[in-house]
A and B are shown apart, each in its own frame.
Chain A
Amino acid sequence: NAGVTQTPKFQVLKTGQSMTLQCAQDMNHNSMYWYRQDPGMGLRLIYYSASEGTTDKGEVPNGYNVSRLNKREFSLRLESAAPSQTSVYFCASSKRGDSSIEQFFGPGTRLTVL
């Protein structure tokens, strides 16, 4: 099993450009999450999907949209990138959205917005 995979690994955008970060998991997990991590900081939840067909805002949703394409895939879209969105983006999944279930993380996408 590959676990949680993310593409691309690195991306450089200009201010105002758009892009979609892709995430897929092969563990048959119900819940998926998007986080961002700024230098020297902990992760902050952007959006999550407790189950296929549902999405909800996390701590820092502004400037982002998500799509739960199917049970395996959860994408994050930046419609008009801003320098403040320069960060490392992590996708995670868990077996279900219950409060006591471990999340498994992908390797991250390093995004720079110029």
Chain B
Amino acid sequence: GENVGLHLPTLSVQEGDNSIINCAYSNSASDYFIWYKQESGKGPQFIIDIRSNMDKRQGQRVTVLLNKTVKHLSLQIAATQPGDSAVYFCAENMGQGAQKLVFGQGTRLTINP
């Protein structure tokens, strides 16, 4: 979705279904990408990361896919649970040898019972 300020892109899925959250990044030279989860009133929490020399990485119930050709990142969450409801941010590292993260707008994921 486009950045419209207060109106975050939203995604609603049924509990137990799989979800896919997409992110477009801006800098073809970015070498590291992270997905964070942020629950209401809390700081971001690390989910999974991927380096630019990889195109896929799997964690527990989560998979990140990186397509450098079109500068696209996705987060797949398998068998969603109510606790997965949160805002999800992708971030790219635009620093050279230092970590200077640039965050996307975020996507609000709602898990319906």
Contact = CB atoms under 8 A, between A and B. Distances in A.
Interface of A: 4, 31, 33, 39-45, 48, 50, 56, 58-59, 90, 92, 94, 97-108
A50 B49 contact: no
A99 B99 CA distance: 5
Interface in B61-111: 89, 91, 93, 95-106
A35 to B, nearest CB: 8
Given A40-B6, A42-B89, A108-B43, A101 B99 contact: yes
B58 interface: no
Nearest to B45: A105
Contacts of B31: 99-100
Interface of B: 5-8, 31-32, 34, 41-46, 49, 51, 89, 91, 93, 95-106
Interface secondary structure of B, over-half rule = loop
Most buried by B among A33, A94, A97, A99: A99
B62 to A, nearest CB: 14
A89 B5 CA distance: 18
